[in-house]
Every structure is written in C-alpha cells, then in structure tokens.
A and B are shown apart, each in its own frame.
Chain A
Amino acid sequence: MTAHLGTIAFVSLTALTILPAIMVVSTRNLVHAGFWMLPCLIGVAGFYALLEAHFFVVVQILIYIGAILVLIMFALMLTRDVMDPKERQTNAMGVWAGVICGLGLLASAHMLFRHPWVGVTSHPGDAHAQTVALGKALVTRYALPFEAASVLLLAALIAAIVIAKSMRPPAASVGCDGEVSGG
C-alpha cells in the first residue's frame, strides 16, 4: 500500500515539476514565466521530501523560492519589454528538436530501466542526524568542492559585472593608459 502511495506521490510530483517547467519556456510573457517557476521549484522540493532529505526540502524552499525566484521577479519587473509577447517561441526546428530529444529520452529511459540498480543500504536518518552529517561532509570530504563552488560563483559574479557593466563609448576611453573609466 505504501509502495502505491509512493508511486502516486512520485507521479503527481513529476507532473507538478514538468508541466510548469514546460510553461516556463513556452509562455510569451516573461513575468508569467517567472511565476510558473514557483510550482516547478516546489515540485523539486517535493522530491526531496519523498527521498526523506528533510534538510534539502527546507533549503530548496528557502533559497530557491524565497531568495532566487524573488530576485528573478524583481529583475523582471525592473526590466521593461525584455521580450515581445508577439514573438514566436518556436521555429521550424522545434519539431525535429522535439523528436530527437524524445528519442534521446526514450533511449535514456531504456538504459535506466535496464540497469541493475544497487539498493541503497544506509538510511538517511532523521532530520537532525542528516543535517549533522551534511555539515560534517561540507568541512571534510566536500570542503574543497564547496569552496570551489563559491569561487566559481565569485568568478561568475565578476564575469557578469565585467560583461554587463555599462561602458562609455569608445571615444570616451581615449586618454592616458589606464584611464578607462570604471563607471
């Protein structure tokens, strides 16, 4: 019975994740697209819950919905007319892309189903134990990847600033060496 419940939960969570995700990329209104992300991210949190990864449920909701999505919405509302609602979202290649992706998906599914999965033996434990284990992993085994990820974010941040920072027209930058304005 629990197995059935699990399957039902999985299927409905899948629907909750994928359908909004399709809407995110297909809707013509960018603000709508932003809002469609909300159920999608909640669906992912649901998966974490299904896997009994309690800490991640909280983190997913707090960070992705509470912080990132809100930020995206702010950015969208501050930007005007980033996308023309009349613009088509697909082109002639869409169908074929769909066919190829579909075939790829089927092949992947086939591959995954044929794989003799090894059952996971260790149980994640309760929320507290999990959090402790996670914390420990982040300062031992995963300390380096964790730090590397933060440096990666730093690099991405700098990169975004360098690329996006408004620039004086080239004529203005004529001057002594190093006099290029940072404004």
Chain B
Amino acid sequence: MGAPTQAIRDLSGILPILVLWGVALVILLGAPLLRRGPGSRLAAPLGGAGALGALLVLLRGSSDGFGDTLFAGAALTDTLYSSGAFVLLLGGFLSVLVAQTYLRSRDLEKPEYYAIMLLSLSGALLMMQANDLIVLFLGLELMSFGLYVLAGFARTDAKSDEAALKYFLLGALASALMLYGIMLTYGVAASTELSNVQSAVARGALKEPMGIAAALLLVIGLCFKIAAVPFHQWSPDVYEGAPTSATAFLATTAKIGAIVAFLRVCDTIAGGYHTWLPAIRAIAILSMIVGNLIAIAQTNVKRMLAYSGVAHAGYLLVAVACMGFRLMGTKGTQASILAMTGAVFYLLAYALALIGAFGVLAYLSSRDKDAQTLNDLRGLASSQPAVGYAMVLFMLSLAGIPATAGFIGKWQVFYAVLTGGDVALAVTMALTSAMGVYYYLRVVWYIVFEESAAPKPSPTGHGVEARPRAMTGVGAAITICCIATIGLGILPAAISSFLTVVR
C-alpha cells in the first residue's frame, strides 16, 4: 500500500488521547460491574492501565509521523508535546496509584473517578498538542471539568463540595476571559491557528489595542490554571478541600498542561514580546514572593503546598518569560529552547515530589482521619521511618536542595533565564527559593525532631499503628517518586532523551 493515508497518520498522532478515551469509555460502560463485588477491585487497575497504556503508546509512537501537523493543522506532534506528555502521563499514572489506596481507605472509591481522571488527562494532552486556539480551549475545558468534579468527589464533606464549587465558578470566569481572548485573536489574525497567529504577530498585530488585549487575556486565562498571583486565591481552598488524591492529581495535571500550553502560546506570540513580557515578569515575581511568604504562615500541609505551588508557578513563569527572548539574537533563541527543556524537567521534578508528598498524606489517612496538618506528621521518622524519610526527600526536592531532581529543574530554568540575560528574574528566583527552604524544612522538622503524638510502636517491630500498606498503590507511588527524585537528581541525563525539547 505504501505510505499510510493521512487519516491514519492523523489518528496515530493522537493515539495516546485515543487510548485514554477508550479506557475511560470501558470504565464507564463497565461501571455497574466495577461498582461492587469482586469487580470493584478492577477499577483502579483499569485506570492505571489507561494512563500507562497511553504512556507506552507515546513512547513507542514518537518515531514515525513525528513533527507533523495533524488534522489539517488543528493539532501537532513535536518534542515539546512529547516531553510534556511523558511527564503528564507519568504523573497521571502515579496519581491513580495514590487514588487507589486513598479512596479505598476513605470509602470514596467509585469507578467514575478513574474515568474522569483519564478524560481530564486527555484534555491536558489535547492542550499540549493544540495547534489551534480552539483545540487548546477545548482541551483546557475537558481537563478542567474533570478537575472540578474530582475536587468535589468527597460529597459528604462540606469542604470538598465548597472546593469544587469555588474551583468551578472561578474556573468558569477564567475560561470566559480566555475565550474572549481567543475571540479577539481571531479578530486580529483572522484565524485561530497558531501558525497564522504567529505571522499576524510578525505583521504587528500586537501593536493594536485589540491584539494586546487578546494576548493578555490568553495569558490571564492560563495564569489562572497554574495559580499565579493574583489569580491564585482558589488554590489553597481547593487544595485543602479536595480529597488528597484529587489534590495530587489536579495540582500536577493542571500545572503540566497549562505550562506546556503557555510555553507554546508565548513562543507563538514571541514577536510581540513587548506587550506581554512585562506582565509575565511582574506576575512571575509576584508569585514567587507572595507564594513563598504566605506558605511560611501555614500549618496545614495541603495549604502550605498550595502556596508553595503558587511559588512554583512563579518559577515556571520565569521559564515562560524566556519565550519572549526568542527573537532577541542567538542567545535569546538558545535561552528560549533551554527554558522549554528546563520547564519540562522542572514539571517532572515538581510532579514527582508533589505526588509523593500528597501520597504520604494519603498513606497516613484512614477512614476516621484525614492527614492534613503538620501535627499529623509529627515524629514520622521514628514511627514509620520509610515514609517519614520519603517525605523529607520530597520536601528537599521541592526546596531545590542539590542532589534531588528539584535542584536540577531549578538549575535549568536558572541557566535559561541567565542565558537570556534577565538578571532581575534570576536574582528573584534565587532569593525566593532560599526563602522557601524555611517552610519545607519546617515539615522536615516535624517529621524528624518532634515527638510522635501517638504512642510509639514497640521497638521489636511494627506496632499496632503500622498498617500493612507498603504493597498497595500509594506505597508503590511513593517508592517510584522517591527513586525517581533521587535518581534524577544524580543522573538527570538518564531521561534527557525523552525530555529534551528540540526546535
């Protein structure tokens, strides 16, 4: 037959998405069987298989039909997509593992959870593959819908309901702003396809008020999704209220999807950097400062991680700002490519540490107790050393201490922005990350040095407190996160073949 037809190439380009949709449908159709009895044990494995299957398809398929636009320009496959998708699907898989144990121990498990998770992942993938603002928007909405529901999945818990409602209302507002931006983009570019937008920008579209408004509304919409200041206020409430497994998932998925899309959008409109670069720089600096400062005052670990997420959004926005340097000479081009690679690595390190940290909280939760506060972590290093030190490792990685993956990610972004010559951003990043170490170390403090509130287990072995959870999903997730965090901290080159963005 010769070369495959266009249709087959188009479909193979979005194969990971199709796998996710397929498995989600299987779960939904089989929901009556999966809801009770012996079938109930199958829902989580199915969900995990969906994420893992999409990941394998992504890794296998990245050789042929690559670098094309698909569906006559609606979507594309490139290294930014494939590396981002790798991180996203890995995070998704780990989140399924966390959910499996957490939902079970909290009596929340329903098969729909996993189906929604997979649909949400497919939305994020669509965002990353979008070559058209309409596709980007649909992906964003598909992702967000899933996240709204997962945030409110604990329906008997008023806080969870509240979180979902808040997230939904504010998310809808952000979506509206973004949609308005897309509409105005169509107004100036007479198209929503990114390549057309790029040439319109080259013709000076961002010098007109409408173009400026369009670009900034897009920026604002995406800033909401990554919880950057001043669009961050939903995140602490949502992180706290949502079931822990959903928090882990929504924190990572939204950030990965939105940052990759953000990189792509800003790369597209790099020609008009003078309109949006000052805004992104200001938002980045504000996020780094405000996020780190407020995190210090938190005693609830989930809220603390939410504010730390705001700070991390700031660091990632530093990478996004580098897109603006693309047209400023060879150094600038180099900086923008380095920033893409750096941002993806950062996202990987962040996802591993964050899912690991929420995984530890999930591990410690039981039917009657939802572990959330610093007090719940008291003396963990002596009562359950493996989990305790895992949490210590995740905190060190989030803080960016050398020899963890977090340090490498931060370093790459540092280097990119320094190559771009933006000293102010680099210095702010250095100063605020030093500030951030304080509250991460406080968690370490509680784990290692505070006496456990609960009675100590007998020295001969596992006491009554210890639950045989090591073999369950969350145990596996924590183990994977631990190994990857330290492994990538020492050998980041091991994964660079997947994660290097080529332009």
**Direct A–B contact in the complex, CB atoms closer than 8 angstroms:** yes
Q: Give me the interface of A with B, judged by CB distance under 8 Å.
A: 110-112, 114-118, 140-145, 148-149, 151-152, 154-156, 158-159, 161-163, 167, 170, 173-174, 177-182
Q: Are the C-beta atoms of A151 and B21 separated by less than 8 Å?
A: yes
> Chain B residues with Cβ under 8 A from A118's Cβ?
190
- Let me know if B4 is at the binding interface, CB within 8 A: no
The 8 A-B residue pairs whose C-beta atoms are closest, nearest first, are: A178-B40, A159-B149, A141-B72, A148-B138, A144-B71, A155-B119, A111-B209, A170-B156
Contacts A111-B213, A141-B72 given: A155-B36 contact, CB under 8 Å?
no
Q: Are the C-beta atoms of B115 and A158 separated by less than 8 Å?
A: yes
Within the assembled complex, what's the spacing in Å between the Cα atoms of A145 and B152?
27
> Chain B residues with Cβ under 8 A from A161's Cβ?
112
Q: Are the C-beta atoms of B109 and A159 separated by less than 8 Å?
A: no
Q: Are the C-beta atoms of B109 and A155 separated by less than 8 Å?
A: no
In B110-155, the 8 Å CB interface with A consists of 110, 112, 115-116, 119-120, 122-123, 126, 132, 134-135, 138-139, 141-142, 145-146, 148-149, 152-153, 155
Q: Are the C-beta atoms of A167 and B112 separated by less than 8 Å?
A: no
Q: Are the C-beta atoms of B142 and A148 separated by less than 8 Å?
A: yes
- Let me know if B164 is at the binding interface, CB within 8 A: yes
- Let me know if B70 is at the binding interface, CB within 8 A: yes
Q: Are the C-beta atoms of A144 and B75 separated by less than 8 Å?
A: yes
Q: Which of B21, B142, B156 contacts A167 (CB 8 A)?
A: B156
Q: Can you identify 17 A-B contacts, CB atoms within 8 angstroms?
A: A111-B210, A141-B74, A142-B74, A144-B70, A148-B138, A151-B122, A155-B123, A158-B115, A159-B146, A162-B116, A177-B41, A178-B41, A179-B36, A180-B109, A180-B110, A182-B32, A182-B110
Interface string of B1-42 (1 = CB under 8 A from A): 000000000100010000001000000100110011101110
Within the assembled complex, what's the spacing in Å between the Cα atoms of A17 and B145?
29
> Chain B residues with Cβ under 8 A from A154's Cβ?
119
In B185-236, the 8 Å CB interface with A consists of 187-188, 190, 208-210, 213
Within the assembled complex, what's the spacing in Å between the Cα atoms of A182 and B112?
11
- Let me know if B73 is at the binding interface, CB within 8 A: yes
Q: In this complex, which of A111, A114, A118, A170 has the most chain B Cβ atoms within 10 angstroms of its Cβ?
A: A111
Q: Are the C-beta atoms of B156 and A177 separated by less than 8 Å?
A: no
Q: Are the C-beta atoms of A152 and B74 separated by less than 8 Å?
A: no
Q: Which chain A residue has the least Cβ–Cβ distance from B43?
A: A178
- Let me know if B465 is at the binding interface, CB within 8 A: no
Q: Are the C-beta atoms of B142 and A155 separated by less than 8 Å?
A: yes
Q: Are the C-beta atoms of B107 and A174 separated by less than 8 Å?
A: yes
Q: Are the C-beta atoms of A177 and B109 separated by less than 8 Å?
A: yes
Q: Which of A115, A155, A174 contacts B187 (CB 8 A)?
A: A115
Within the assembled complex, what's the spacing in Å between the Cα atoms of A163 and B110?
12
Q: Which of B108, B135, B142 contacts A151 (CB 8 A)?
A: B142
Q: Are the C-beta atoms of B210 and A163 separated by less than 8 Å?
A: no
- Let me know if B469 is at the binding interface, CB within 8 A: no
Within the assembled complex, what's the spacing in Å between the Cα atoms of A67 and B119?
27
Q: Which of A144, A156, A167, A179 contacts B74 (CB 8 A)?
A: A144
Q: Which chain A residue has the least Cβ–Cβ distance from B18?
A: A147
> Chain B residues with Cβ under 8 A from A116's Cβ?
208
- Let me know if B467 is at the binding interface, CB within 8 A: no
